[in-house]
Structure 1
Amino acid sequence: MQRIGFLSFGHWGPGQGSRTRTAGEALRQGIELAVAAEELGIDGAFFRVHHFARQQASPFPLLAAIAARTGRIEIGTGVIDMRYENPLYMAEEAAATDLISRGRLQLGISRGSPEPARNGAAAFGHKPAEGETDADMAHQHTAQFRHAISGAGVAEADPRYAGGAIGLLPVQPQSPGLTERIWWGAGSRNTAVWAAGLGMNLMSSTLLTEDTGVPFDQLQAEQIQLFREAWAAAGHSHQPRVSVSRSILPIVDDEDSRYFAGSALRDSRDQVGVIDGLTARFGKTYAGAPDVLAEQLVADAAVQAADTLLVTVPNQLGVDFNAKMLGNIARYIAPAVGWTPARS
């Protein structure tokens, strides 16, 4: 295990006990938590993107603000739904954010997940062509985005206003190296192999849209192995990265127990359900005493196979609580999986 980051879903609302009652509070606290995480030696600050919901939806202003307040921590998404994106505008935003951060952007993207809106991407002006699916459209947007950030030309020059230039113009700005820091959020083994073939890093979460009857961590470890084999077969020149997400809730004091004792009993096993007509397996929640969680994570096959662990945080409990929780993970649990805190 080389890196540990946090993953915030950015929830906000007026629920009982919420410290993020407004979108503004959720955004500003996201910045402050990233600053606190960097001080703790945590390696990454990642944010979920979810449209038409009381969650963070437009990541680049948030990531740019974090980049301006920090100097080391990686900043990223987990994940951007590519059905919604204008690929060229996204390429400009991503490059600008990466330049502000001096090359710390780790951009997770995917086909998307179930959402509140029946056809949300269409409301943003994006509809699949006749005979194509939403997944096809997401893959096309991804290809266009990756083409644009590579520096390739995408729009014909007008010599009258382009200083006499001819041919195709690339979007500006460009941020060299960003092409190697794109991750695909893969929900199956086949999708992981597809991403490896294209040279995208693998971002695997606590949900897989398939079930073979084996425990979640073993299924996810198989996905990672297939990804690495496909990457090697493709002959890419750079090394891949692989992240997994886990809900890790150490119970150290009475406050932790009040929040998480129920999860320690209720969510300690994998769950199997149906999403979009597909059988899906969900990973369990790790809640309990730190020494017990450390032993469980050492036995987690996918955590051992990945190079990056993203810890989901209960962001509505506020910055102080989440910084304390990340500190307890860094102090009592993470060393067991081979992690050491980064130094600024």
Structure 2
Amino acid sequence: MQRFGTLSFGHYGPLGGGRQLTAGDSLRQAIDLAQGMDDLGVNGAYFRVHHFARQQASPMPLLAAIAARTERIEIGTGVIDMRYENPLYLAEEAAAVDLISDGRLALGVSRGSPETVVRGYETFGYTGSEDPRGADLAREHFELFLRAIEGEGLAERDGSSAFGAGATGLQRIEPYSPGLRSRVWWGAGNRDSAEWAGRRGVNLMSSTLLTSADGRPFDILQAEQIDAFRAAWREAGHAGEPRVSVSRSVFPLVTAEDHMYFGGRQDGDQIGVIDGMRSTFGKTYAAEPDVLVEQLLADAAVQAADTLMLTIPSQLGVEFNLRVVESFATHVAPALGWVSTRG
């Protein structure tokens, strides 16, 4: 494990006892937490994107704000649902954030997970999908997005325009960030999707679930998915080594408060149904640091990946989450091979 960061679902709403976490609170706390993690030398702050829900839905303003307040930490998404996106506008926004952050954007995209509404992307104006889950629409948008961030000319210049200086030919999307293409990730929930990402030459974000359930442990299924992705990458002839991330719920039990919230939360893999398919969901790790080290060293997928994303209970606030992250950075991560960005 070369890197670790946090994956926030960005929930807001009632907290109980008359307390309310607003959307503004959630966004501002995300910025403060990322700044605190940057100071600790943590590698990344990543955010889930959901629509029609009390969660973060428009990541680019948030990522730009974090970029302006931090120096080293990678900022990204896990993942943007491409069914809902104008791919050219997303290309403009992503390039701008990448430039503001000096190349620290890790943009995770995919078809996305099920939403709280029926075919919500059609409400956004994106229709014509022949797939009940919109997978064809997501990949169509993704392909145009890649062409845009690769700098391909997409619109004919107007030679008669007062702003075109008589130029002709095709104009690319602006701004353009040369390194952004290498920092795009595809979120995959099954082997076929991971292999497609490898052939397409993008990095892999392996989901917190897999649409497979054959009785084997989640980490074994996920490690096989990672191996298949890397094999597809090599067979396609792509240069270099792609990055791979996995997500886990990991809580070091260090204080009495940790035990109160997460003691007894250790559980095994879960089998459920998502999008009509039997799926395997990864387990929660909650134990004393020395036990966590043993467990994570035995997790085949954590060992196969270079980046670990810790899912955090963001609604518990900045102070609590920063302490959880610091406990992991101090007592667990070094034993897994991690070195702080602060040296």
Shorter-chain TM-score range: over 0.9
Give the aligned partner of residue 145 of structure 2: 145
Task: Report the CA distance shift for 1:244/1:288 in structure 2 as closer, same or farther (over 3 A).
Answer: same
1:126 and 2:164 correspond: no
CA distance in structure 2 between the partners assigned to 1:105 and 1:148 by the alignment: 16
- How far does the alpha carbon of each residue in 1:39-79 deviate from its partner, in whole angstroms, 9 at most, with x for none? 11100000000001000000000000000001110000000
Give the aligned partner of residue 286 of structure 2: 287
Task: Report the CA distance shift for 1:131/1:327 in structure 2 as closer, same or farther (over 3 A).
Answer: closer
CA distance in structure 1 between the partners assigned to 2:88 and 2:252 by the alignment: 42
Task: Report the CA distance shift for 1:100/1:18 in structure 2 as closer, same or farther (over 3 A).
Answer: farther
Q: Is the 8 A contact 1:17 1:317 kept in 2?
A: no
In the superposition, the TM-score normalised over structure 1's length comes to 0.96
Unaligned runs of 5+ in 2: none
Offset at residue 212 of structure 1 (A): 2.3
1:92 and 2:92 correspond: yes
Q: Is the 8 A contact 1:87 1:142 kept in 2?
A: yes
CA distance in structure 1 between the partners assigned to 2:208 and 2:235 by the alignment: 27
CA distance in structure 2 between the partners assigned to 1:121 and 1:229 by the alignment: 33
| SS at 1:14 equivalent | strand
CA distance in structure 1 between the partners assigned to 2:157 and 2:200 by the alignment: 29
The amino acid of 1:218's aligned partner reads I
Offset at residue 131 of structure 1 (A): 7.5
1:240 and 2:242 correspond: yes
Equivalences for 1:154-165 in 2 at 5 Å? 154-161=154-161, 162-165=164-167
Q: Is the 8 A contact 2:111 2:135 kept in 1?
A: yes
Offset at residue 18 of structure 1 (A): 9.4
Equivalences for 1:63-102 in 2 at 5 Å? 63-102=63-102
Equivalences for 1:1-344 in 2 at 5 Å? 1-16=1-16, 21-129=21-129, 134-161=134-161, 162-264=164-266, 268-343=267-342
Offset at residue 291 of structure 1 (A): 1.0
CA distance in structure 2 between the partners assigned to 1:293 and 1:313 by the alignment: 16
CA distance in structure 2 between the partners assigned to 1:165 and 1:209 by the alignment: 50
How many positions carry a matched residue from both structures?
341
Offset at residue 128 of structure 1 (A): 2.5
CA distance in structure 2 between the partners assigned to 1:91 and 1:238 by the alignment: 24
CA distance in structure 1 between the partners assigned to 2:247 and 2:20 by the alignment: 23
The amino acid of 1:335's aligned partner reads P
CA RMSD of aligned residues (A): 1.4
| SS at 1:158 equivalent | coil
Q: Is the 8 A contact 1:18 1:317 kept in 2?
A: no
CA distance in structure 2 between the partners assigned to 1:17 and 1:262 by the alignment: 24
CA distance in structure 1 between the partners assigned to 2:175 and 2:43 by the alignment: 26
| SS at 2:219 equivalent | helix
| SS at 2:71 equivalent | coil
CA distance in structure 2 between the partners assigned to 1:3 and 1:48 by the alignment: 19
| SS at 2:14 equivalent | coil
Unaligned runs of 5+ in 1: none
| Percentage of identical aligned residues | 62
| SS at 2:310 equivalent | strand
CA distance in structure 1 between the partners assigned to 2:51 and 2:301 by the alignment: 29
Task: Report the CA distance shift for 1:18/1:260 in structure 2 as closer, same or farther (over 3 A).
Answer: farther
Moved over 4 A (4+): 17-20, 129-133
- How far does the alpha carbon of each residue in 1:185-230 deviate from its partner, in whole angstroms, 9 at most, with x for none? 0000111000000001000022011122210000000001111111
CA distance in structure 2 between the partners assigned to 1:43 and 1:219 by the alignment: 26
CA distance in structure 1 between the partners assigned to 2:20 and 2:333 by the alignment: 27
